[in-house]
Amino acid sequence: MSEPDLPLLVDSHCHLDFPDFDGEQADLIARAQAAGVIRMVTICTRMYKEPAVRAIAEAYPGVFYAAGIHPMYAAEEPLVTVDELVALSAHPKFVGIGETGLDYHYTADSAAVQAESLRIHIEAARRTGLPLIIHSRDADEDMARILTEEYRAGAFTGVMHCYTSGPELARAALEIGFYLSMSGIAAFPRSTGIREIFAAAPQDRILVETDAPYLAPPPYRGKRNEPAYVVHTAKVGADLLGMTEAEFARLTSQNFERLFSKAVA
């Protein structure tokens, strides 16, 4: 149980099904709640893992889930269909589409199939009204172009998860109503440019996340991340925006509820 005076936070993006957490989910979630992290969205990155991710969300009241094909895996398995994603959206704890996107850091050779997969997820987001969860790495120009083209063809909403790209992509995403999510990378001492992007963004479009088990913020950098550690990134976010930790927690929770409105219902 979280103490009454703790800021109540949301970890808007984590991976509780990953092998790093095998058999520890109950303890992880208990630690998160004790730290004031009362809601989490656990993200499915490969469709064959969807049943396991769904089971975690079903087992814990404060855990919700999303599903899609991570761009790094888009060429390794059959593409999901729009109808399959729409069918998943009937589940009461299914609150987002993805993660999907473009990753040219390691998998630039599959750029074409990544783009095809991304457009499928975008159409599912349109049809369901659920937010799209975007992963973008070393693909700023193509990502900005696809999002802008697709938005002109029909509105949808979403979040640029773990935002570490440049100001141009941030501007393009914000212009179509997207949110930017702050991960532990924003708390790294050398991440000045990323912090500047968040400082300049509309405050009603900022979320906070762990991407656990990856990207632990200081003082846990280099170690396994977990949802409880989102409080350390939130402290950096609060300082950046000139807020108290409670104000930042309230802001990001309200933003989460606006974007992931199904989680409130």
Q: What residues pair up with 135 in beta bridges, in sequence order?
A: 101
Tokens of 152: 């002109």
Q: How far apart are CA 253 and CA 63, in angstroms?
A: 14
Q: Give tens-digit pLDDT for 208-223.
A: 999 999 999 999 999 9
pLDDT (tens digit, 9 = 90+) per residue, 124-146? 999 999 999 999 999 999 999 99
Token digits for 65?
Answer: 């889930």
Q: Give the closest residue to 211 by CA, choosing from 112, 144, 135, 107.
A: 135
For the chain, the distance separating the N- and C-terminal CA atoms, rounded to the nearest angstrom, is: 22
For residues 205 and 173, what is the distance between their CA atoms, to the nearest angstrom?
A: 10
Q: Which residues are annotated as a binding site for a divalent metal cation?
A: 13, 15, 99, 135, 161, 211
Summarised one tens digit per residue, pLDDT across range 3-56 is: 456 779 999 999 999 999 999 999 999 999 999 999 999 999 999 999 999 999
Output the pTM of the full model: 0.96
Query: Measured in whole angstroms, how far is the alpha carbon of residue 218 from the centre of its chain?
Result: 20
Residue ranges covered by each domain of the chain? 9-264
Domain 9-264 listed as CATH 3.20.20.140: yes
The amino acid occupying position 45 is: T
Annotated binding-site residue numbers? 13, 15, 99, 135, 161, 211
